[in-house]
Structure 1
Amino acid sequence: MRLTNTLKFLLLSSALLLSACERSPQPLQQFEHAIDGAFASEISQNGDYSFISSIYHGLSLWDNRNNKLLFNWHHYNNKNNDVFIVRLSANNSVALSASSHEFVLWDTQTGKSLGFYKVTESPITDIQVSSNGDYVVYGQVNGKLVHINLKTGRRLEAPLHTTKVSSLDMSSNGRYVLSGGNDHQAFLWDTQTAQVVQSFQFTERVSMVRLEKSGRFAFIADSQKAAQIWDLETGKLMSSLVYKARQSIFSSVRFIKDGQFLLTGNASKRVVLWESKTGLAVQHWSVTPRKETRPKTAVVYSATLWSDSEIVTESSAGLLEIWPLAPL
């Protein structure tokens, strides 16, 4: 069958359009925060700071707006720097770093340690800190959840999960915790009463949970296809993320724009912006791997808004990258 010139033009235009849609944008700026890569990193909600656990230089806090190293820290007598979790409080006043059996709080203004804490009974699997650093919650391999008021010493143990706690998050004020486990369950619970507010059942282990920091929305994903956004005010499922892959293990998740959108990252360089109400992907980017790495990939550790027209990412490559964002 002979194609007309018009049809040829339409087919070529469609192919070019599809190619353009699939092509990831290039970073606008790139800064090295960890030589030879990072174990973990987190960007503050507003993008101002990055907290890095690096392979050779321990812990570092960066002023992202001025590309300035503020502090270098180390856990006492932890020469191997096996710190695999770093957190920044919502108001940027406190940084938290954790290895499997200890965690440390740091003052981001003075650089001083605010406290060193040992956890002996079972390894830490995830940990979060409240906005002002008053509260910490951590999950353990044995399934236990521990919420601590660091000002009063009140300690609440919540035996909700029957197996390993895989992921958890806490509202900015420390009141509510969302936890997920290898027992295929997730729980939203009140730290004042120790009561479960809402429970969620999955067919596979829960791999990631995240709260919108005001506590309005929750993200819960299992290790296969389920990736859900819940409206916690109504208690109803708002959307499920729509993607073609058989599974997607998320390495980074954050609500932005008051929960209207979700930024996710995975272990294959990919960052995706989703509309919370529909679960549809809006934009995507691919972070830059280090030149010497094989295969050519990187884990996305953290992503957030940098401005109305940009996002910013940190990855296992040890690079902070700023990316163009289409109008939302």
Structure 2
Amino acid sequence: MNKTVFFPFGCLFVLICAGCSVPETEPDTKLPISDSGVYAADISNSGDFAVISRVNADISVWSLAQNKTLFSWRHQEEGRNIVANIHISADESHVVTADNENFALWNKASGDPLGFWRIDESTIRDIAVSNQGRGILVGKANGNVMFFEPETGRSLEFLGHEEKVNTVDISPNGKYALTGSNDYKAYLWDTDSGQIVHVFNHANRVTKVAIDDEARFLFTSDSLDDSQIWDAQTGKAISQLHFIERQWVFTSARFSNDGKYLLTGSPAKRLALWNVQTGELIKEWRVAPSDGPAPQSAVVYGVGFLDNEVLSISSSGNLEYWAYK
């Protein structure tokens, strides 16, 4: 699941970890999908398609199997594309997209927009959508999180966070939300009542969260070195990701369908595969940067699994396939 990049964290990461040992790697396949680069991306659970916010262009629904655009979307009829958040529902039926002030729901099968909404009192930091587009989660800079049901118009405002919300995710059935904030906390909460189910405390700002689509695991990570996998039912820790760097910031995260792996993307071109039960790093790759003068980098926005490969889409505008089995 995908989603927002926080450039102050990413820039700090690059400065600190410029000398980190990241192996030179060559993907099985590399496909350029946006010459101008990418603002945001998400890859469907099946790996059949991706939704990409392209710099100086539009929002492209891209068939990975056919290597072509299925639909082109825009928030505005005119003007440049500024969509920085994208999320595909777990059942692949709907997509939600957002710029700083507006979010939109789309039907994946038809490509039709189902609604546009504006946030006036704050700016949008991250967004997520449940199966069939029944529930949309909007994390905001004022610390609030809105859960919204497009069909009924019902809206619930979660006020548990005390500072800016950085990252959100929603369970496929739309019943639970996982949110992380600058207040050093991540909450799992009930979207019917707003009641908090689990609290996950960190020593730094929480910058990435993810919910396993099978309701087995949760992932929370802060802006320094604390990245943990939790049991979604009990809230107990399963493992902590093991790495030697002083800081490792994550910009995308997804659990494999078999529950064995966590795949993460980061600033500075990093794509990594982790063992869910132990937190050990299994394999790491470095995605290709965009063409241009050095120094070059790429932020990994979208990650996904296929049978024997993992996928990545980065700000460089490249889609890459990597063997992991």
Q: Secondary structure at the match of 1:295?
A: coil
Indicate the percent of aligned positions where both proteins have the same amino acid.
Answer: 38
| Aligned equivalents of 2:24, 2:228: Cα separation in 1 | 25
**1:102 partnered with 2:105:** no
* Amino acid across the alignment from 1:289: P
Structure 1 residue 324, shift from structure 2 partner: 1.3
| Aligned equivalents of 1:136, 1:78: Cα separation in 2 | 26
1:63 maps to which residue? 63
> Does the aligned pair in 1 maintain the 2:176–2:191 contact within 8 Å?
yes
Structure 1 residue 77, shift from structure 2 partner: 4.5
| Aligned equivalents of 2:165, 2:121: Cα separation in 1 | 14
Structure 1 residue 302, shift from structure 2 partner: 1.2
- Superposed counterparts of 1:47-196, under 5 Å: 47-77=47-77, 79-196=79-196
Structure 1 residue 24, shift from structure 2 partner: 4.3
Q: Secondary structure at the match of 1:322?
A: strand
| Aligned equivalents of 2:200, 2:309: Cα separation in 1 | 34
- Superposed counterparts of 1:271-282, under 5 Å: 271-282=271-282
> Does the aligned pair in 2 maintain the 1:176–1:215 contact within 8 Å?
no
* Amino acid across the alignment from 1:38: V
2:311 maps to which residue? 312
Distance 1:83-1:121 versus aligned 2 partners, 3 A rule = same
1:44 maps to which residue? 44
The alignment's TM-score, normalised by the length of structure 2, stands at 0.91
| Aligned equivalents of 1:283, 1:78: Cα separation in 2 | 43
Q: Deviations over 1:39-62 (max 9, x none)?
A: 111111111111111112111101
* Amino acid across the alignment from 2:105: L
1:222 maps to which residue? 222
Structure 1 residue 66, shift from structure 2 partner: 1.1
* Amino acid across the alignment from 2:60: S
* Amino acid across the alignment from 2:267: A
Structure 1 residue 211, shift from structure 2 partner: 0.7
| Aligned equivalents of 1:177, 1:321: Cα separation in 2 | 30
| Aligned equivalents of 1:232, 1:40: Cα separation in 2 | 27
Q: Secondary structure at the match of 1:100?
A: coil
| Aligned equivalents of 1:185, 1:35: Cα separation in 2 | 38
1:240 maps to which residue? 240
| Aligned equivalents of 2:23, 2:39: Cα separation in 1 | 28
1:7 maps to which residue? none
* Amino acid across the alignment from 1:239: S
> Does the aligned pair in 1 maintain the 2:24–2:285 contact within 8 Å?
yes
> Does the aligned pair in 2 maintain the 1:86–1:97 contact within 8 Å?
yes
1:324 maps to which residue? 323
Q: Secondary structure at the match of 1:52?
A: strand
* Amino acid across the alignment from 1:304: G
> Does the aligned pair in 2 maintain the 1:206–1:223 contact within 8 Å?
yes
| Aligned equivalents of 1:293, 1:233: Cα separation in 2 | 48
Structure 1 residue 76, shift from structure 2 partner: 2.4
Structure 1 residue 36, shift from structure 2 partner: 2.0
Structure 1 residue 22, shift from structure 2 partner: 6.8
Structure 1 residue 202, shift from structure 2 partner: 1.4
Structure 1 residue 293, shift from structure 2 partner: 4.9
Distance 1:38-1:293 versus aligned 2 partners, 3 A rule = farther
* Amino acid across the alignment from 1:318: G
- Count of aligned pairs between the two proteins: 305
| Aligned equivalents of 1:324, 1:200: Cα separation in 2 | 33
Q: Secondary structure at the match of 1:132?
A: helix
> Does the aligned pair in 1 maintain the 2:25–2:287 contact within 8 Å?
no
Q: Secondary structure at the match of 2:36?
A: coil
Distance 1:30-1:178 versus aligned 2 partners, 3 A rule = same
> Does the aligned pair in 1 maintain the 2:22–2:286 contact within 8 Å?
no
> Does the aligned pair in 2 maintain the 1:24–1:284 contact within 8 Å?
no
Distance 1:168-1:293 versus aligned 2 partners, 3 A rule = farther
| Aligned equivalents of 1:92, 1:162: Cα separation in 2 | 33
2:26 maps to which residue? 26
| Aligned equivalents of 1:317, 1:281: Cα separation in 2 | 24
> Does the aligned pair in 2 maintain the 1:301–1:315 contact within 8 Å?
yes
Runs of 5+ consecutive residues of structure 2 not aligned to the other structure:
1-20
Structure 1 residue 150, shift from structure 2 partner: 1.3
> Does the aligned pair in 1 maintain the 2:23–2:286 contact within 8 Å?
no
Instruction: Determine which structure has greater relative contact order: mean sequence separation of CA pairs < 8 Å that are 6+ residues apart, divided by chain length.
Output: 2
Q: Deviations over 1:131-152 (max 9, x none)?
A: 2111101111110111011111
| Aligned equivalents of 2:280, 2:103: Cα separation in 1 | 37
The alignment's TM-score, normalised by the length of structure 1, stands at 0.90
Q: Secondary structure at the match of 2:251?
A: strand
Structure 1 residue 214, shift from structure 2 partner: 2.5
Structure 1 residue 164, shift from structure 2 partner: 0.4
Moved more, 195-204 or 77-86: 77-86
* Amino acid across the alignment from 2:115: G
